[in-house]
Structure 1
Amino acid sequence: MEVIPAIDLLQGRCVRLYQGDYSQSEVFNENPVEVARQWEQEGATRLHLVDLDGAKEGKSVNLDAIASVTQAISIPVEVGGGLRDKATIERLFEVGVRYAIVGTIAVENPALVQQLCHDFPDQIIVGIDARNGKVATRGWLETSEINATDLAQQMAGFGASTIIYTDIHRDGTLIGPNMEALREMAQAVEIPVIASGGVSSLTDLLSLLALEPLGVIGAIVGRALYTGDVSLSEAVRAVGQGRWQDVPPDPPRFA
């Protein structure tokens, strides 16, 4: 199972939100490239980038920052936030992004997602963000009446490579992942699922290993890395071993 560090971009800076609330943002670093390099050095095998401005405005906003990150590191980068048309996604791929994460258009324009999956096989990830099992869209500002598992099944049928499932009530809270919802999602589809939201400790990450046989192949970690509740290098090694283990000290962390 991959431990995937998250960088959320707001006005070009690395921030974290609480439960997706833009008014409750905390800046962790002014330089996302510095953060990305640190996570790569600590053993990340993939980086999760979210354009928060883009998610809110419905168009890519932080493209320059994203391009700077992809050029600075060698691991694959997945990007979401405001990806509502093919041209924007093509531009991301041109600057070195490996995977595009679509969310809102999965609800509002599913035919476009089907076409994207055809045009970019194995590169389209569908991000399903839910409140109480219902799909939220437009930067989590709106909540639909669509069940998360129903949407996941539709997107899997279209050829999506992976589902990223986020429990909004858990995101940025450090209260642990929603294991029941993740289990339900993994059992609903035959494509891989990545867990997102609420990871607060190595214990949470190791508990997610129980869902790996169901297809939960990764966990996105955000706030817990920036607060120091989780050490990425230790988490990568512990999850790789599937058990607690003694690890050497971490390299110096960014300021």
Structure 2
Amino acid sequence: MKIFPAIDIKDKKCVRLIKGEFENKTEYGMSPFEQASKYKDYGFKNLHIVDLDGALTGETVNLDIIQEIVKKCDLKIEIGGGIRNFESIKKYTDAGVEKVILGSAAIKDKDFLKGACEKFHNKIALGLDAKDGYLSVSGWKENSNQLTLDYLKEVNNFGVSRLIYTDINKDGMKQSPNFKETEVVANNSNCPVIISGGVSNIDDIKKAKELNNENIEGIIVGKAIYDGDIKLEELAKEIDA
């Protein structure tokens, strides 16, 4: 079970949102690079980053920060946030990130997802953000009217190398992830799945491990770290990949 501590970047700062709402934002004192360095010092190998500025603009706004983290921290990074074209994907892969996460653009345009998987082999992760079974897009402001599992069936053979499943109702709420729904997605996915949204304490990490589902690759931990509900030293003890 890979553990992905999370960094959300807005205005060059580490922030956390609740249910993806920009007006419901908490800023934290450490810079993204300082936070990534801290994760590295505790022995974490993987890192989940969302460029919230990128999500708003569709540009690789914080590319310089990502480049610095890759260069100096030696972490396997997955990056998402407003990635809507091949040029942006290339900038991130050239910077040395392990996976580029496509979300709204891939849901709105399946051909874009398919082309990205073909052009950037083993580099594309798919972010599926769902609310009540339906996928949401555009920073979770729009319902796509597509059922998660129906969409997954359509793109399952495109060559996506990782799937990140987020229950929006859980995100930032620290009420435990939707393990049940994540398992359903994992059982229908041709690629490994990451649990995202709602981790509240160390027991959630242990429960994720106990699922013993071979297609669940890891779990993302965000707000619970920043708010002190999970201590990095206890989370580090759960690292095994």
TM-score range normalised by the length of the shorter chain: over 0.9
Contact 1:8 1:14 in 2 (8 A): yes
Range moving further from structure 2, 5-14 or 134-143: 134-143
Once the 2 structures are TM-superposed, how far is the Cα of residue 72 of structure 1 from its aligned partner? 2.1
Deviation at 1:10? 0.5
Spell out, residue by residue over 1:104-139, the C-alpha distance to the aligned partner (whole angstroms, 9 max, x if none): 122111111111111111110000011111111112
Tell me the secondary structure at the aligned position of residue 82 of structure 1.
coil
Distance (Å, rounded) in 2 between the aligned partners of 1:105 and 1:165: 16
The letter of the residue matching 1:204 is D
| Corresponding residue pairs, total | 241
> CA shift at 1:35, angstroms?
0.3
Judge conservation of contact 1:128–1:135 (CA < 8 Å) in 2.
Answer: yes
1:194, distance to aligned residue in structure 2 (A):
0.1
Letter in 1 for 2:207: S
Matches within 5 A, 1:11-22: 11-22=11-22
User: Equivalents in 1 of 2:47, 2:214: separation in Å?
Assistant: 23
Instruction: Indicate yes or no: 2:169 matched with 1:176.
Output: no
Deviation at 1:153, TM superposition (A): 2.9
SS in structure 2 at match of 1:158: coil
Equivalence map 1:91-170=2 (5 Å)? 91-170=91-170
Q: Residues of 1 paired with 2:97 and 2:205: CA distance?
A: 26
Q: CA deviation at 1:239?
A: 5.6
Residue number in structure 2 paired with 1:73:
73
SS at match of 2:211: helix
Q: Which runs of 4+ in 1 moved over 4 A?
A: none
Q: Which amino acid aligns with 1:56?
A: L
Question: In 1, Cα distance between the equivalents of 2:30 and 2:227?
Answer: 16
Question: So what's the TM-score if we normalise by structure 2?
Answer: 0.95
Cα distance in 2 for residues equivalent to 1:45 and 1:154: 32
8 Å Cα contact 1:29-1:35 kept in structure 2: no
Do the aligned residues in 2 keep the contact of 1:43 with 1:233 (CA within 8 Å)? no
Report deviation, 1:12. Answer: 1.1
**Equivalent residue, structure 2, for 1:88:** 88
Q: Residues 59 and 82 of structure 2 are in contact (CA less than 8 Å); yes or no, is this contact kept in structure 1?
A: yes
Amino acid aligned to 2:187 = Q
CA distance in 1, matches of 2:151, 2:93: 25
AA aligned to 1:206 is: K
Partner secondary structure for residue 238 of structure 1? coil
Q: Which whole-Å CA distance do the structure 1 matches of 2:187 and 2:79 have between them? A: 25
Shift of 1:96: 2.0
Deviation at 1:151, TM superposition (A): 2.1
**2:159 and 2:76 mapped to 1: Cα distance?**
20
**CA 109–120 in structure 1, closer or farther in 2 if over 3 Å, else same:** same
Paired residue secondary structure (1:169): coil
Q: Secondary structure at the match of 2:5?
A: strand
Deviation at 1:42, TM superposition (A): 1.0
Seq. identity, %: 35
Residues 2 and 236, structure 1, Cα contact 8 Å, conserved in 2: no
How far off its partner does 1:98 sit?
A: 1.7
Ranges in structure 2 where 5+ consecutive residues have no aligned partner? none
* Change beyond 3 A, Cα 1:237–1:14: same
Is contact 2:157-2:190 (8 Å) kept?
Answer: no
